[in-house]
Amino acid sequence: MKIFYSDVHFQHNPSFEIFDGGVKVPNFEMPERAERILHALHQTSWAAIHNPDDFGLEPILAVHDAGYIDFLSSAYAEWQMIDTDTPYEKDALLPASFPPGKWRHIPKTLLGRAGYYMSDLSAPITAGTYPAALAAVNCALSAAEIVLAGEKSSFALSRPPGHHAGKANCGGYCYINNAAVAANWCSRHRKTALLDIDYHCGNGTQDIFYDRSDVLTISIHADPDDEYPYFCGYSDEMGTGNGTGYHRNFPLPSGTDNKHYLAALGQALELVNSFDAELLVISAGMDLYAGDPLGKFNVTRDGIRQIGAQISSLGLPCLIVMEGGYNNAALGENIVTLLETFENTPPA
Q: How far apart are the C-alpha atoms of 201 and 205, rounded to whole Å?
A: 9
| Region of 180-188, 312-320, 323-331, 337-345 interacting with Zn ion (CB under 5 A) | 323-331
The helix or strand, by DSSP H or E, that contains position 114, with its residue range, turns out to be helix 110-117
Interface with Zn ion, residue 287, by CB under 5 A: yes
Interface with Zn ion, residue 229, by CB under 5 A: no
| Region of 51-59, 207-215, 268-276, 284-292 interacting with Zn ion (CB under 5 A) | 284-292
Q: Tell me whether residue 174 or residue 316 sits nearer to Zn ion (CB atom).
A: 174
User: Which phi-psi region, left, alpha or beta, contains residue 101 (left: φ > 0; alpha: ψ -120 to 50)?
Assistant: left
CA distances from 90 to 72, 75, 79, 84 (A): 16, 12, 7, 11
Residues 6+ apart with CB under 8 A from 23: none
Q: At what angle do helices 31-42 and 328-343 cross, to 10 degrees?
A: 50
Q: Tell me whether residue 204 or residue 324 sits nearer to Zn ion (CB atom).
A: 324
Q: Tell me whether residue 120 or residue 343 sits nearer to Zn ion (CB atom).
A: 120
Residue ranges in 168-187 that form contacts with Zn ion under rule CB under 5 A? none
Among 113, 200, 212, 296, contact with Zn ion (rule: CB under 5 A): 200
Closest distance to Zn ion from the beta carbon of 294 (Å): 6
Q: How far apart are the C-alpha atoms of 235 and 68, rounded to whole Å?
A: 29
Q: Tell me whether residue 5 or residue 228 sits nearer to Zn ion (CB atom).
A: 228
Closest distance to Zn ion from the beta carbon of 28 (Å): 10
Among 28, 324, 334, 341, contact with Zn ion (rule: CB under 5 A): 324
Q: How far apart are the C-alpha atoms of 178 and 133, rounded to whole Å?
A: 8
Catalytically annotated residue among 9, 12, 163, 164: 164
Interface with Zn ion, residue 160, by CB under 5 A: no
Q: How far apart are the C-alpha atoms of 124 and 302, rounded to whole Å?
A: 35
Closest distance to Zn ion from the beta carbon of 258 (Å): 18
Closest distance to Zn ion from the beta carbon of 315 (Å): 28
CA distances from 335 to 66, 123, 157, 226, 262 (A): 33, 24, 10, 26, 18
Contact 141, 55 (CB under 8 A): yes
User: Is residue 105 among the annotated active site residues?
Assistant: no
Closest alpha carbon to 179 in 201, 199, 156? 156
Interface with Zn ion, residue 243, by CB under 5 A: no
| Region of 59-67, 106-114, 190-198, 238-246 interacting with Zn ion (CB under 5 A) | 190-198
Closest distance to Zn ion from the beta carbon of 324 (Å): 3
Interface with Zn ion, residue 198, by CB under 5 A: yes
| Residues contributing to the site for Zn ion (CB under 5 A) | 198-200, 285, 287, 324
